[in-house]
Amino acid sequence: MVQNMLAIPWYVAVFESFPEAFLIIIVGFKLFNITLSTKNALLIAALSALSLFLIRQAPIVFGLHTFLAIAITIFLAVLITRLDLWSVTLAILAGIVLLAILQSLMIPALFQLTGLQFSDIPNQPWLNIVLFIPQGVVLVGIYLLIRQKNWYLYDLGQKDTECA
């Protein structure tokens, strides 16, 4: 039987999962020049964080929670924005890839600076929040830069309508 070793407390869902999902969504959509209202981005992020919190309570194989969370976030974004699956999937995956790159660069450096180890996180879940803060700041900076410079990877922006 698989144990729920991946369970997170509610405060990690609120203070790490929610802002992380929000930043993944807004950066990903901006990278494809897709207009998304803040209200919809917040709604998708909140439901995504809640879903991740519930998924992480379940006794599932390590890593499966990530794929489920991605699929649920894409489903929620399609449902809420009424955009096509292809555009939403590209946007969400772009945001996730960007976050994964930041994590692969920043987490080892943060562990080195603080003396923390990956094994410390399950016993001190608030470390998830602390370790996310610098990544979140960088993601906000990236979002502001691509918004100011109007940069995007590929223009999937709506020609006739916006997703409110």
- pLDDT tens digits in sequence order for the chain, 164 residues long: 455 557 899 999 999 999 999 999 999 999 999 999 999 999 999 999 999 999 999 988 878 999 999 999 999 999 999 999 999 999 999 999 999 999 999 999 999 999 999 888 888 999 999 999 999 999 999 999 999 999 999 999 865 445 55
Task: Tell me the two tokens of residue 42.
Answer: 């917040």
Alpha helices for the chain (secondary structure H): 10-12, 18-31, 38-57, 64-81, 85-114, 126-149
Q: pTM of the predicted model, to two decimals?
A: 0.91
- CA dihedral of 107, 109, 112, 114, whole degrees rounded to 10: -70
Please give the full DSSP string across 66-83, using - where no structure is assigned. HHHHHHHHHHHHHHHH--
> How far apart, in Å, are the Cα atoms of 79 and each of 55, 73, 76, 93, 126?
20, 10, 5, 17, 32
**pLDDT for 6:** 74
**pLDDT for 161:** 43
Task: Tell me the two tokens of residue 59.
Answer: 């006794």
6-19 core/surface letters (b: 16 or more CB in 10 A; e: else): bbbeeebbebbbbb
**pLDDT for 118:** 87
Q: How many residues does the chain have?
A: 164
**pLDDT for 20:** 98
Task: Tell me the two tokens of residue 18.
Answer: 């929610």
**pLDDT for 4:** 54
**CA–CA dist 116, 111 (Å, integer):** 5
**pLDDT for 3:** 54
**pLDDT for 119:** 86
